[in-house]
Amino acid sequence: MAKSTMVTDHVNTLNTLFSQLTVIEHKIEDNERIKILLQSLPDLYDQFIINMTNSATTLVFNDLITAILEEKNQRKNKEDRLASSKQAEAMTMRGRSTECGSSRSQSHSRSKSRNKKNAKCYHCDKKGHVKKKCWQLKKNRDSRGKDP
């Protein structure tokens, strides 16, 4: 469940409890409701609580609920923007890896075609090796003691 939904449910539950207490004639003052609500918010709302308690001289319970729900909406919008930017980044990275993968597969296929069986020596014109590993060239070096 999303955190924003949890805060909304929490505020609704508190309102229901306060209403039920009012029905049984146990009145809770507005400032007590505010304290209960602020103390029961998740830790993510600590900065919000500090801002609300420091900025307002007197808080009204209904105004506080409105402010909490606005804060929740802002947080949800921020989460949605972050999620969509991460998704876009993932799509971009996936596209890049596909491009890189296709160029890699081409280079791999090229290197497979140049294996030792298909290699041709420039010294003796035989297949199966290159000049660096040429048998005849090695024989000539051994017999002469130096490069031809």
DSSP symbol at 27? -
Task: Please state the rounded mean pLDDT for residues 27-41.
Answer: 89
Are residues 134 and 121 in contact, defined by beta-carbon separation less than 8 angstroms? yes
The residues spanned by each domain of the chain are 3-112, 115-144
Helix (H, G, I), strand (E, B), or coil: what is residue 23? Answer: helix
Res. 105: pLDDT tops 80: no
Give the model's confidence band at 2: pLDDT under 50 very low, under 70 low, under 90 confident, else very high.
Answer: low
Question: Contacts for 36-39 with beta carbons within 8 Å, 24 or more apart?
Answer: 37/11, 37/61, 37/64, 37/65, 37/68, 38/64
Round to whole Å and give the CA distance between 147 and 140: 8
Q: Is the pTM of this model over 0.75?
A: no
